[in-house]
Amino acid sequence: MSSSKKPGRRSQAWFGSADKSGFLYRSWLKNQGYPGDLFDGRPVIGICNTWSELTPCNGHFRELAEYVKRGVYEAGGFPLEFPVMSLGETQMRPTAMLFRNLASMDVEESIRANPIDGVVLLMGCDKTTPSLMMGAASCDIPTIGISGGPMLSGRWRGQKIGSGTGVWQMSEMVRAGEMSHEDFVEAESCMHRSKGSCMTMGTASTMANMVEALGMSLPENAAIPAVDSRRYQLAQLSGRRIVQMVHEDLRMSKILTREAFENAIRTNAAIGGSTNAVIHLLALAGRIGVELNLQDWDELGSKLPCLVNLLPSGEHLMEDYYYAGGLPAVLREIAAHLHTDALTVNGHTLGENIANAPCWNRDVIKTMDEPVRAEAGIAVLRGNLAPNGAVIKPSAASPHLLKHRGRAVVFENIEDFHARIDDDALDIDETCVMVLKNCGPRGYPGMAEVGNMPLPPKLLKRGITDMVRISDARMSGTAYGTVVLHTSPEAAAGGPLALVRDGDMIELDVPGRRIHLEVGDEELARRKANWKAPETPTRGWYKLYVEHVQQADLGADLDFLVGGSGADVPRDSH
């Protein structure tokens, strides 16, 4: 219910009244020492902070927020910081993805319920970025994003090691007997040696690039290292800019257009970005009301080359990427494929922002003529095993496995996988196709990053480093391999993946965009008749999530959160 008075700004519905209600709203905030003139009609800027000591990537956000406040005050605004649920992929179980939609609700309702005219989103670890963007999009007020920035490059015994990617590589070496446990433990402190998020092109870095490519941050946001003073300059400048955005009424819906999403999809290909971007951008588009579907990822971006030579698709790390020119240099290189007239939060078009963007290192950021890999965007596969689609990242896959036919070795869930994968008696060889079930949105629940299944030690010891793997799970953006993900419908929803049995033959044809289970329709129907759905949770968030989460091809948002409710001023609380 909206207030009968229609103030020029939302915050004045709280602070602009001379009656009892205005007294209450102003007086209680004054207990923090705010002088009275801060309530005089200037823009109130909410700083949405995902700081948490349990989210290592976001552990420096208290300091980052102070720089935002400087900028807001300098521009004549009134900054008010507020916390929302923080999602750390490295610590949360069963997976941070289970809580992405919950955190988005926290953001949305916090904005709508409070005297906020514009909002600054502080986001770092990978699920905080889409959750904050989704929640703010459902309110559609002036918004600007600031990423926390990547860590400095990991260094161990004179070599660079990258977040996540190094873990997967070294753990496989330990399992193959090629690395000692003592060396493995020593590398822990060497890999993560500064504040910030993963410094590979994992999901955190990918989503920071997506925010910038969408036009939702100032230029260079994606790559400045967390501990670089220029990250704090960017925060201060963003604080200044959000005040002007409120004056201009520059809302998210004016920036997050269909063209902006097309730019982001093409950018994801050029940077060798995470498959997780697919599910997050689909959900974000659903919140802001832009028509976007899974097939768009293939049609718009799959033919573009990967230009950024970063782990896991290349050699370098995010620190090198920033020094080479960062995302502006990439966008300038692919400008012919972008909507350069798309508006961004600084009031300029994307084309204006990148017109003079330099590249300082062509070994890190390649040209279109000499890319890291050709046709490196996300490929969308369909067939009787994935009627609604599945995805694969060809730039992270082994070329010789992109067309493959093999015998299925099936794991019913992640516990079954862990119980059997190290057993030398497991009937598996490098020609087999590893299949993991019940790890999708409903099945895990939350669609955990377990799709890049470690290989059996007996094959690792023979020098086998990749196999075809198929699941309804996700995988970390720091991971690699010939891994088919997001298979939809998932096994727990009764999708065909649930019906696969050991010994079934599976054909993967990435160039042909096909994934096929060589089992007849009649036999599949018999198997489906005997299939039993897993039990659903009995209470709490798990129950709400499982009952309402959409499938991966739709973004795995909750069905009742699609769309937005705007930011009309709610009825008075007194």
Same domain? For 148 and 164 the reply is no
pLDDT given at position 480: 84
Residue 1 has pLDDT above 60, yes or no: no
Residues 145 and 163 in one domain: no
**In a domain? residue 254:** yes
Residues 393 and 490 in one domain: yes
SS3 content of the chain, % helix, strand, coil (to 5): 40, 15, 45
* Cβ within 8 Å of residue 394, ≥6 positions away: 373, 375, 376, 377, 379, 402, 510
Q: What is the mean pLDDT of the segment spanning 344-372?
A: 98
Please identify which residue in the block is written with the tokens 């939302």: 10
Of the residues 137, 163, 191, the one at which a domain ends: 191
Residue tagged 């070795």 (tokens): 409
| Residues 295 and 412 both lie in one domain | no
Q: For 404-437, what is each residue's pLDDT tens digit?
A: 999 999 999 999 999 999 999 999 999 999 999 9
pLDDT higher than 60, residue 439 = yes
User: Is residue 14 included in any domain, yes or no?
Assistant: no
Task: Tell me phi and psi for residue 505, to 5 degrees.
Answer: -95, 135
136 near 48, Cβ under 8 Å?
Answer: yes
Do 461 and 343 share a domain, yes or no? no
How is residue 65 annotated by DSSP? H
pLDDT at 375 over 60: yes
Closest of 69, 81, 96 to residue 29, by C-alpha: 81
Give me 344's structure tokens.
């961004």
Q: Is residue 367 part of a domain?
A: no
Domain range spanning residue 299? 42-152+194-354
- Determine, yes or no, domain membership for 5: no
**Domain end among 354, 388, 423:** 354
Which DSSP string corresponds to 385-449? Answer: TEEEEEEE-GGGS-GGGSEEEEEEEEESSHHHHHHHTT-TTS---TTSEEEE-S-STTTTTS--S
488: domain CATH number?
3.50.30.80
Q: What pLDDT does 454 receive?
A: 94
- Using CA atoms, how far apart are residues 226 and 274, in angstroms rounded to an integer? 20
Which residues, other chains included, contact 150 with Cβ-Cβ below 8 Å and sequence gap of 6+? 196, 197, 198, 199, 204, 205, 208, 223, 225, 226, 317, 318, 319
> The domain spanning residue 294 has which CATH number?
3.40.50.2300
pLDDT tens digits, one per residue of 27-38? 999 999 999 999
Same domain, 68 and 46: yes
Name which of 451, 447, 444 is nearest 482 in CA terms: 451
Task: Say if residue 395's pLDDT is above 70.
Answer: yes
For residue 553, the model assigns a pLDDT of 98
Are 402 and 508 in contact by the 8 Å Cβ rule? The answer is yes
Q: Is residue 359 part of a domain?
A: no
Domain co-membership, 77 together with 146: yes
Q: Mean of the per-residue pLDDT values for the chain?
A: 95
Please report the pLDDT score of residue 307 as a whole number. Answer: 97
Residue 126 lies in a domain: yes
Same-domain check for residues 501 and 387 = yes
For the chain, how many structural domains are there in total? 3
Whether residue 78 is found in the same domain as residue 169: no
User: What is the Cα–Cα distance from 65 to 59, expressed in whole angstroms?
Assistant: 12
207, 182: one domain: no
> 332 and 433: one domain?
no
Q: What pLDDT shows up at residue 376? A: 83
Q: What is the structure's pLDDT at 567?
A: 94
pTM: 0.95
Same domain, 305 and 409: no
